[in-house]
Amino acid sequence: MGHFIARRTVASAISLAFLVIAVFFLSRLTGDPTDLYLPLDASQEVRDNFRELNGLNEPILLQFAGYLGDMARLDFGTSLRSAEPALAVVLQAFQWTLVLALVTMVFVTVAAVILGSLAAFNVGGPLDRVATFFSLIGASAPDFWIAIVAIVIFSVGFGWLPTSGTGSIWHWILPVSVLFIRPFGLILQVVRGSMINALGSAYVKTARAKGVAPRPIIFTHALRNAMLPVVTVMGDQAAGMLNGAVVVETIFGFPGVGKLMIDSILQRDFAVILAAIMVTAVAIFVMNLLIDLAYALLDPRIRY
């Protein structure tokens, strides 16, 4: 197991190295970095100063070496907007995204697993019909539209909930709810399908012949077997949220990494963009590692 984690870490470090290189050369490929950093109407004098200051007149390989050195020291540069180290800015935002993603995924998982399992136990029953109907709507609803409609109804209309910010628990309800809908619909469908398979399996027949009651059959015998595909989709959805729930964060003015990235791109805060790319890449690597470990935990036949 330890060996596996070490191997995966090395493999991920190599991927990260390629990402670092790609980011540097792509930023150069798209043209003069001064265009990237400075406003369109910057004067020639400002541009020349900027070049001199940032060593952009040096040969490209020398610039690359300097860039690699910065990366190795986790020095992504300074945010143009806040004049703080870019990494600190990103980590600050990332904390918010992490909590948002975690809270949402906990709700999604609990709700989808319980409802999906019960729906699968009685396929075609009333619960199954209702759950399937709403999960299909949820999985296909556009979140920017739901977010706006939710603001119109609950914040503007009833005045129950704040429209944006993070001040109190009330601020979290709308972002979490909107973020909840799509993964919930998707994962519920996966749980239901996977559970129908598991409940039809031979070992469930054995459990029934032993006299096991329906509830332990669902949650002890079938569910653990049915969880592998569910964990895969859950990981995929969680990775999407860690990347920044861009739309939801932007609409609700939530200070997460998604909103930070959009703002930084609009303001040409290249150092912050770079740091955000690296932080989310590392987060997704950790995420995937956790999924692989979850596989081994769920299924004793999987050993690394």
Partner 1 sequence: MPDPILEVRDLSVTFETARGPVRAVRNVNWHLSRGEVLAILGESGSGKSVSANAVMDLIDIPPGRIDSGQILFEGRDLLKMTPKERRKINGPRIAMIFQDPLSHLNPVWTVGWQIEEAMVIHGTPRAEAKAKTVDLLGKVGLPNPAEAAAKYPHQFSGGQRQRVMIAMALALKPDVLIADEPTTALDVTVQAQILALLEELQRETGMGLLIITHDLGVVAEIADRCIVMNKGEVVETGTPAQIHGAPQHPYTQKLIAAAPGKGQMSDSTDGRTPLLQMRGATKAYGEVRVLHGIDLDIHAGECVAVVGESGSGKSTVAKLITRLESATGGTAMWNGEDLFTMPQRRLLEVRREVQMVFQDPTQSLNPRMSVRDIISEAWVIHPDVLPKPRWRDRVAELLEQVGLEPDHARRYPHQFSGGQRQRIAIARALALEPRLIICDEAVSALDVQVQAQVIRLLARLGREMNIAYLFIAHDLPVVRDFADSVVVMKSGRVVEEGPVRQIFDNPRQDYTRNLMAASLDPDPDVQAARRRQRQEMMA
Residue numbers of the site for partner 1 (CB under 8 A)? 201-203, 205-213, 216, 221, 224-225, 298-301
Q: What type of residue sits at position 256?
A: G
Neighbours of 271 (CB within 10 A): 22
Contact criterion met (CB below 8 Å) for 67 and 74:
no
Terminal Cα distance for the chain, rounded: 6
For the CB of residue 112, give the shortest distance to partner 1 in the complex, in Å.
20
CA distances to 101, 246, 249 from 163, in Å: 19, 16, 11
Tokens of 61: 């390989």
For the CB of residue 125, give the shortest distance to partner 1 in the complex, in Å.
12
For the CB of residue 302, give the shortest distance to partner 1 in the complex, in Å.
10
Q: What SS3 state is found at 78?
A: strand
Q: Please report which helix (H) or strand (E) contains residue 134, including its range.
A: helix 126-140
Tell me whether residue 29 or residue 202 sits nearer to partner 1 (CB atom): 202
Q: What type of residue sits at position 46?
A: V
For the CB of residue 93, give the shortest distance to partner 1 in the complex, in Å.
39
Tell me whether residue 98 or residue 291 sits nearer to partner 1 (CB atom): 291
Q: Tokens 């020349």 — which residue?
A: 48
What CA–CA distance (Å, rounded) separates 185 from 134?
Answer: 7
Tokens of 180: 């909840």
Burial 148-163 (b: 16+ CB within 10 A, else e): eebbeebbeeeeebbe
Tell me whether residue 73 or residue 303 sits nearer to partner 1 (CB atom): 303
Tell me whether residue 61 or residue 213 sits nearer to partner 1 (CB atom): 213
Contact criterion met (CB below 8 Å) for 233 and 182:
no
For the CB of residue 10, give the shortest distance to partner 1 in the complex, in Å.
23
For the CB of residue 229, give the shortest distance to partner 1 in the complex, in Å.
14
Instruction: Please report the sign of the dihedral spanned by the C-alpha atoms of residue 241, residue 246, residue 250, residue 255.
Output: positive
For the CB of residue 293, give the shortest distance to partner 1 in the complex, in Å.
15
Tell me whether residue 129 or residue 208 sits nearer to partner 1 (CB atom): 208
Tell me whether residue 9 or residue 220 sits nearer to partner 1 (CB atom): 220
Tell me whether residue 108 or residue 190 sits nearer to partner 1 (CB atom): 190
What CA–CA distance (Å, rounded) separates 80 from 64?
Answer: 21
